[in-house]
Amino acid sequence: MKPLYLAFAASLAFGTFAATTVPAAAQSVLRIGLQDDPDTLDPVSNWSFVGRHVLQSLCDKIVDIDEQGQIIPMLATSWEWNADSTALTVKLRDDAVFHDGTKVDAAAIKYNLERGLTSPISRRKAEISAIKTIDVVDPLTVQINLKEPSVPLLAALTDRAGMIVSPKAGEALGENFTTAPVCSGPYKFVERIAQDRIVLEKFPQYYDAAKFSFDQLVYRGMPDANVRLLNLRSGQLDLIERLAATDVESVKQDAKFAVSPVVGLGYYGVTINITGEGANLDFAKKEAVRQAFSLAIDREAITNVVFDGQASTGNQPFPPTSPFYDKNFPVPARDVDAAKKKMEEAGLTSVDLEILVPTDSERQQVVQLIQAMVKEVGINVTIRATELMTLLDTARQGRFQAHLVGWSGRVDPDLNITPMLSCGAAGNDAHYCNKDLDAILTKARALTDTAARQVEYGKAITILQKDLPIVYLYHSQWIFAYNSAILGMKSVPDGIIRLPGVIRRD
């Protein structure tokens, strides 16, 4: 007999929508479709993945990563650790200026790192919490002193923690910086119309301005993959992120468009609220219920049905291709009998769970499949579709039972666990705390040898497989689609759009 969830999967269908009207654009304008409308444009407070696309062109970072996931210079020209990895000395380029004309220097680096550590709105604190003090050695040299060894710090600086804003604007605007952000990237802020568009224009004084060919960037949030693709096909957009996996082949066959996929660094999973005020007590207090939930899910079916086989099944914070993936815990097959036994162990025949999910069609389909799967073991899921920024705010406050979101991933394994699951971390939606896990992560951060770090992360995975504050499900590819007249696109494993060298063919 066909499983109920497979019968349900066959009934899933994408909705159809009208194309969004976008003003006509000149050749020098690149129009980009994002999956969501970003939350803030302040690197210190931004929490959405889509916000990183905009910030990448707006705010240069201390360091960046390349297509192989290697850390490369950006504002920094070089860096060096001391012998015990407790101090990082960074040399800066001498030709970078902020959009307000002030200079990017060591004092600006110090200001930004301290802002990330102390600002009331900062979501970067956990990522750079190892920092003790920052010393300005000279105008172009800064020394970052750590409380304890923390090798992942450099990787953290390849993302928003390393994005540098103008101290002048930061002081003037404070928590309102997002309304008129001033950074030192290749593009500067022009306007933002909420739930409509964000406009940036080229910054002529950028040190590498010649590498950026577009005079203006226009970003639009479109949660539905069908709508983004429809706008691309109609010429209303030039480039879209997260093309639906089921549309890849049809787009590839159209000579007017190109597709560029890259395997991501992160994961998608269901985060369970463990101690927040909105937690479901059965799920929060009984790990056997969470284990039953995980056992009832057919991860292979999710990747095949929703992603046409173009995602990787997963059950850990890192994909199976990662050197830090623990092979002692392979991706489990669905096991309904084992799931039912776990429910019996918890003393339950049924339990209710509300899962918040963003409004995009793919994640809607994933949670609908999960709903059908876990029902067979007595877990009754209610789905609440929620606009992404509202969902994230609700989760930060702990007013939810579970949500299906994801983490875009970082090049260092620590940054796929600590920001989400260490005690008291700003991004710890699960409101989960395990002191043993924190101790293991602290030890791993001090190690530079990969084999030694693998041992420690294996211990961490053992704890997470038992506690399951996050039920990891799959690792997606970042799939971009764009007009074939756009040349020079390079896909980087963090999934962020980078535009140096990208041109439009006449």
Neighbours of 333 (CB within 10 A): 11
- Indicate whether 193 and 140 sit together in one domain: no
Residue 455 lies in a domain: yes
Choose one of 173, 200, 232: the last residue of a domain: 173
Is the same domain home to 129 and 251? no
What's the pLDDT score for residue 448? 81
Q: Tell me whether residue 444 is in a domain.
A: yes
- How many separate domains does the chain show? 3
d(CA 38, CA 29): 20
For residue 52, is it within any domain?
A: no
370: in domain = yes
Under 8 Å between Cβ of 500 and 30:
no
Same domain membership, residue 255 and residue 269: no
- Asked whether residue 273 falls in the same domain as residue 396, the answer is yes
pLDDT mean by block of 10 residues, the chain; 506 residues: 48 37 58 95 94 98 92 97 92 98 98 97 91 98 96 94 98 97 98 96 98 97 94 98 92 96 90 95 96 98 92 92 91 97 97 95 94 98 94 93 92 92 92 97 89 96 98 93 96 93 92
Query: Residues 239, 97: one domain?
Result: no
Cα–Cα distance for residue pair 252/24, rounded to 1 Å: 26
Range of the domain at 180: 29-41+174-263+478-504
Coil, strand, or helix at residue 389?
helix
Strand positions, DSSP E, 139-244: 141-146, 187-193, 197-202, 216-221, 239-240
Same domain, yes or no: 336 and 391: yes
CATH (domain of 324): 3.10.105.10
Query: For position 15, what pLDDT does the model report?
Result: 36
3-state secondary structure 63-105: EEECCCCCEEECCEEEEEECCCCCEEEEEECCCCECCCCCECC
- Residue of 76, 83, 206, 205 whose CA lies nearest to 146: 83
- Check if the beta carbon of residue 105 is closer than 8 Å to that of residue 140: yes
Same domain, 306 and 417: yes
- Do 482 and 399 lie in one domain? The reply is no
Q: Do 220 and 319 belong together in one domain?
A: no
Looking at residue 53, what is its pLDDT? 97
CA–CA distance, 330 with 313 (Å, rounded to integer): 10
Task: Dig out the tokens for 495 from the structure.
Answer: 């999934």
Output the domain CATH number for residue 247. Answer: 3.40.190.10
Residue 50 in any domain: the answer is no
Q: Are residues 460 and 354 in the same domain?
A: yes
Closest C-alpha to 122, from 167, 155, 160, 152: 160
* 425 belongs to a structural domain: yes
Give the pLDDT confidence score for residue 3 in this predicted structure: 55
Hey, how many other C-beta atoms are within 10 angstroms of the C-beta on 446?
A: 18
Write out the H or E segment, with its range, that includes residue 288. Answer: helix 287-295
CA pseudo-torsion sign 372, 373, 376, 377: negative
Question: Do 141 and 107 reside in the same domain of the chain?
Answer: yes
The CATH number covering residue 71 comes to 3.90.76.10
Give the torsion sign (CA, 173, 179, 180, 181).
positive
State whether 114 and 156 are in the same domain: yes
Its pTM stands at 0.75
H-helix or E-strand containing 311?
strand 311-313
